[in-house]
Amino acid sequence: MQSMLRYVLAILVFGFSFLRLEAQCPKRPDSGTVVQDALTVSSVNGALNAELTMMHSVDDAGYTHYCYNYATSKGDVESPTLRLNPGDRLLLDVKDRIETDDSAGMMEMPATPGKVCGDGGMMMLSSTNVHFHGLNVPPICHQDDVLTTLLQPGKPAFQFNIQIPKNEPPGLYWYHPHVHGFTEFQVNGGAAGALIVEGMEKFHPEVAGLKERVFVIRQQYLVPWVPGPYQLTINYQVAASPSFPSPIIDMKPNEKQFWRVANATIQDFMPLQVWFNGKPQKLQLIALDGYPLPQSRFEETILIPPAGRAEFIVQAPPQNNEAIFIALGYSTGPTGNPDLEQQLGRIQVSGGEEEAAETKQETNADEPATQASMKSIKFAELEKQKPTTERKLYFSEEFGGTNGPIQFYITVDGQKQKVFEANEKPAITTQVGAVEDWTIENHALETHAFHIHQIHFKVLEVDGKPVSDQDLRDTIEVPFWEGPGHPYHSFKARFDFRDPTIAGTFVFHCHILLHEDLGMMHKILVLPK
Piece in contact with other proteins (CB under 8 A), picked from 185-193, 380-388, 393-401, 508-516: 393-401
Reply yes or no: is the peptide bond before residue 242 cis, omega within 30 of 0.
Answer: yes
Burial of 5 (0-12, 13-18, 19+ CB in 10 A): exposed
User: Total residues contacting other proteins (rule CB under 8 A)?
Assistant: 28
CB of 331 vs other proteins, minimal distance in Å: 9
Taking CB under 8 A as the rule, does residue 415 contact other proteins? Answer: no
Strand partners, 331: none
Q: CA separation (Å) from 461 to 302, 451, 466?
A: 18, 17, 4
CB of 406 vs other proteins, minimal distance in Å: 6
Taking CB under 8 A as the rule, does residue 390 contact other proteins? Answer: no
Query: Binding mask 474-493 vs other proteins (x if CB under 8 A, - otherwise)?
Result: -------x-xx---------
Nearer to other proteins, 271 or 387 (CB): 271
Residue 434 in contact with residue 389, Cβ under 8 Å?
yes
CB of 400 vs other proteins, minimal distance in Å: 5
Site for other proteins in 9-28 (CB under 8 A): 9, 12, 16, 19
Piece in contact with other proteins (CB under 8 A), picked from 1-9, 288-296, 312-320, 344-352: 1-9
Taking CB under 8 A as the rule, does residue 71 contact other proteins? Answer: no
For 398-410, give one letter per residue: b (16+ CB within 10 A) or e. Answer: ebeeebbbebbbb
CB of 415 vs other proteins, minimal distance in Å: 15
Taking CB under 8 A as the rule, does residue 401 contact other proteins? Answer: yes
**Distance from C-alpha of 176 to C-alpha of 168, rounded to nearest angstrom:** 19
Helix, coil or strand: residue 101: coil
Taking CB under 8 A as the rule, does residue 338 contact other proteins? Answer: yes
Taking CB under 8 A as the rule, does residue 266 contact other proteins? Answer: no
Positive/negative CA dihedral, 477, 481, 486, 491: positive
Contacts of 277 (CB under 8 A, 6+ apart): 317, 321
Nearer to other proteins, 12 or 467 (CB): 12
Residue 332 in contact with residue 294, Cβ under 8 Å?
no
Taking CB under 8 A as the rule, does residue 271 contact other proteins? Answer: no
**Distance from C-alpha of 358 to C-alpha of 87, rounded to nearest angstrom:** 35
**Distance from C-alpha of 419 to C-alpha of 459, rounded to nearest angstrom:** 26
Taking CB under 8 A as the rule, does residue 514 contact other proteins? Answer: no
CB of 484 vs other proteins, minimal distance in Å: 5
| Residue 382 DSSP label | G
Paired sense of beta strands 428-431 and 521-527, if any: parallel
Query: Binding mask 194-233 vs other proteins (x if CB under 8 A, - otherwise)?
Result: -----------------------------x-xxxx-----
Which of 335, 348, 388, 501 forms a contact with other proteins (CB under 8 A)? Answer: 335
Nearer to other proteins, 4 or 283 (CB): 4
CA 166 to chain centre: 22
Dmax (CA) of the chain? 64
Nearer to other proteins, 4 or 197 (CB): 4
Strand partners, 428: 524
Site for other proteins in 438-457 (CB under 8 A): 445
Q: Nearest to residue 473, comparing CAs of 511, 504, 499?
A: 511
Which of 388, 399, 424, 434 forms a contact with other proteins (CB under 8 A)? Answer: 399
| Site residues, other proteins (CB under 8 A) | 1, 4-5, 8-9, 12, 16, 19, 223, 225-228, 334-335, 338, 396, 398-403, 406, 445, 481, 483-484
